[in-house]
């Protein structure tokens, strides 16, 4: 069963008329993880934001985005706000951009959870405290009283994962969640996503240039280039059996990079 169906998605710049996503169609199965890979500028992030309807003017979009059969493209902004967070939760590239820098992060957490559940500050602190500890964040109450700039990128990403645990959304969209992190933090955050999927059974769209992370997370993969889906398939077919030249190129580049790193470590 498909929980999300994107049909004939087109995104363009209304000022210049330039097409960004030409004509994309794909599905997300209930309880599965769909990986989206491709070069920078291939259209991965703008596709994710289109599902959430978060692309800002002058970008416009058309097509059908069916969530449990309901076309999100036809909803009012008020109705769409109700879907964001509780039904569709997006974890962005940079934890810093997800929080208001002028407020401590607890303000954002309280506003989000009180909007969806009507919880007071004590209830938010209790629920978030438990979830934050489950993703290896110590002293959650202390953290909630800090400003975003006082926390590392890894801490902010794990805070967003903890918020997802509390919200229990139907779909989690992770848009390059490890891009701004160091290698150790990348490993920890991907590990938290793996645990999150096992714990909640949510459907996930996992966008990344890190093919190793995608291979660890995803059941199926879309390969994007220049605003188009150029290849798709399950993990085995994409990483081992694809006949598409671009897919073979990015997989071989990843293998070469991994091999060079292993040779370097052996020489240390």
All domains in the chain, ordered by first residue = 2-267 (3.40.50.300)
For 199-214, the pLDDT digits (tens) are: 888 899 999 988 888 9
pLDDT per residue as tens digits for the range 211-234 = 888 999 999 999 999 999 999 999
The pTM (predicted TM-score) of the whole model is: 0.92
HEC profile for the chain? CEEEEEEEEEEEECCCCCEEEEEEEEEEECCCEEEEEECCCCCHHHHHHHHHCCCCCCEEEEEEEEECCEEHHHCCHHHHHHHECCCEEEECCCHHHHCCCCCCHHHHHHHHHHHHHCCCHHHHHHHHHHHHHHCCCCCHHHHHCCCHHHCCHHHHHHHHHHHHHHHCCCEEEEECCCCCCCHHHHHHHHHHHHHHHHHHCCEEEEECCCHHHHHHHCCEEEEEECCEEEEEEEHHHHHHHCCCHHHHHHHHHHHHHHHHHHHHHHHC
Q: Residue 266: what pLDDT?
A: 52
pLDDT tens string 44-99: 999 999 999 999 999 999 999 999 999 999 999 999 999 999 999 999 888 788 89
Query: How does residue 264 score in pLDDT terms, banded at 50, 70 and 90?
Result: very low
Average pLDDT over residues 2-28: 97
pLDDT in tens, 143-170: 999 999 999 988 999 999 999 999 999 9
User: Per residue in 92-126, pLDDT tens?
Assistant: 888 788 899 999 999 999 999 999 999 999 999 99
């Amino acid at each position: 069963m498909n929980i999300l169906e994107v049909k004939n998605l087109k995104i363009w710049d209304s000022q210049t008329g330039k097409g960004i996503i030409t004509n994309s169609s794909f599905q997300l199965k209930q309880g599965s993880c769909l990986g989206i890979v491709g070069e920078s500028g291939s259209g991965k992030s703008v596709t994710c934001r289109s599902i959430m309807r978060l692309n800002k003017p002058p970008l416009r979009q058309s097509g059908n985005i069916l969530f449990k059969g309901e076309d999100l493209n036809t909803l009012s902004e008020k109705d769409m706000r109700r879907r964001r967070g509780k039904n569709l939760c997006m974890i962005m590239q940079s934890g810093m951009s997800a929080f208001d820098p002028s407020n401590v992060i607890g303000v954002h957490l309280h506003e989000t959870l009180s909007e969806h559940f009507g919880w007071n500050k004590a209830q938010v602190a209790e629920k978030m405290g438990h979830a934050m500890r489950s993703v290896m964040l110590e002293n959650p109450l202390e953290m909630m009283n800090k400003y975003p700039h006082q926390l590392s990128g890894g801490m902010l990403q794990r805070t967003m994962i903890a918020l997802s645990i509390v919200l229990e959304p139907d779909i989690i969209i992770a848009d390059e969640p490890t891009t701004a992190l160091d290698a150790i933090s990348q490993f920890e955050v991907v590990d938290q996503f793996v645990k999150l999927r096992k714990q909640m059974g949510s459907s996930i769209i996992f966008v990344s240039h890190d093919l190793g992370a995608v291979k660890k997370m995803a059941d199926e993969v879309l390969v994007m280039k220049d605003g188009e889906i150029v290849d798709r398939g399950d993990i085995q077919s994409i990483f081992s059996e694809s006949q598409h030249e671009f897919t073979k190129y990015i997989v071989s580049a990843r293998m070469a990079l991994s091999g060079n790193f292993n040779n370097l470590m052996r020489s240390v």
